[in-house]
Structure 1
């Protein structure tokens, strides 16, 4: 009886359970769609659920534990380093371990100190700081855009910088938290990547930095575009204006190495998907927040995280990410104001980013035309 139950619900128990847990929801869902055997489909569905459940449980333990130790004002740092912790296991920087750990240390210093600088600076100085720090972070971690790790590092920067500590005690605790996070991520990085890219030095990567290089153009566009929308949000004194930066990141992180033109069609698709996800996700949060008894509202964030684990598309990931983001904002602005603010900030961020991309496209076309004419 037990063997039948195991076979029916878990399929082939001889396959590597741990390896399947490493797959993303998109890969698992694709396998489920392609699988014809009912037992194995059940097995893969169980893996998909169990994977998402484990990540949410680990995130809750990590973030709640860090918040209790280092204060509520530093919970954003805990969220960022949790994401970095997961990312450190799978993606390296593309050069030797010594240079990688040193640059990770510099990123940690930026994360620790920039929340004391950029949000309190005037918008113009804030733009300079954001552009410089973002360009450094993007350059040292994302030499290969196909790896997709740019979002994790930039999100960590945005969360940590624009959700600053509330008092001097939390400032001191933030330094300790960042130091511990750096040590944990470094250990994971060394364990999984110490033997990779041994012969590649960071100065070899520096040689790639050129305005003629497509990757460099993408890095500059990403850093400048995010800094621009943050400048607008700070200049207009918008609450939670780092949401504009996250919108810009989601659009500008698209990279197409083969094309000489900016990926206009896919960017339009991404903009529409983000607006759809933000509006639907915010309204969904409003419905759940209203229906749920007040004492259970704290579960809305983890519920969103669980559904993100099932999401194989950007659109639905955006929908369910709204639940956790709005739950955090509600404690400051209330539910209704947070919903309006999230929709407004994200749509504004999308509009500014699209205008920025169109201007860049025109400037590139003008430069290429002038450069061609000068050769004739």
Structure 2
């Protein structure tokens, strides 16, 4: 049976060029980057090259890139690092109700530590109101963390407008750009972003590596202690092969961003048009005109998310839902709850389709046909 993978927002397969360059590094460069001998210097040179390339991809300086184990650690480093370093200026933090759990759970922990957190609501498209942010902003606000593009429904937030609103305020502006990096053009200075999180495995790089961009004037309390790596901001011997692989994945992803966006938008249009031709009843969660090109979240009235996921998997199609499905119970997606309310039927019948560099129009067409058959069967 042919298997179709449409869950690239969860994780993406490594690009062949990334695998090739990582194997080369693993075979030839094993020195500790902190060692001063030739083996260490060779490893350090590779890390320096990667740092420079990744910094350039967002318009940052090399010393503003901190390598992490991925997006979760980057988010945690940003939130806890800023909170501990600037608590003398205030203990108020602003975020949204639709953030990734790496931000939301960190905020919940900070609340237990005595910080006050305001969770901004979103409209039915999944977007915050700038007026709500302006109202929530206080003299003692030290951090605003608002994601670039949502991982479940794809909605983009008005990042540049948020940055402009905050540029004359003491609050640091952090954005989780894990889903947006590589598909959206990100310029940290033009958008007045102080901190930004990225993960390699979302852009066909290796799992277990990512970075936090932190503007040079931002003070960050470290989360790990030991060596003096990453300018004393993150202790631990660097994963050289993964960092080099991350850089290669970034170069590929950002190098053909325009063509990739067009490819993803075509796949999105194909799936929607095919479902309509097959007379499938569905609603789009989010807004097509203002969303990540590779993420499409659809609600299928009269179905259940568990049945849809199981039947699609049996048909060889891998997709996902915003819900954490467990045996016999579903925890509703916090994103859909924020958008539509806790009583909306969309909480129990929504599926996320997400595309990658190797997704074809034929695969998406077949997915639409199988989806139509499954929806028809379930509604009977």
Shared topology, TM-score over 0.5?
no
- Kindly indicate whether structure 1 or structure 2 has the higher relative contact order, using CA contacts under 8 Å at least 6 residues apart: 2
Higher strand share: 2
Higher helix share: 1
Q: TM-score, normalised by structure 1?
A: 0.27
Q: TM-score, normalised by structure 2?
A: 0.27
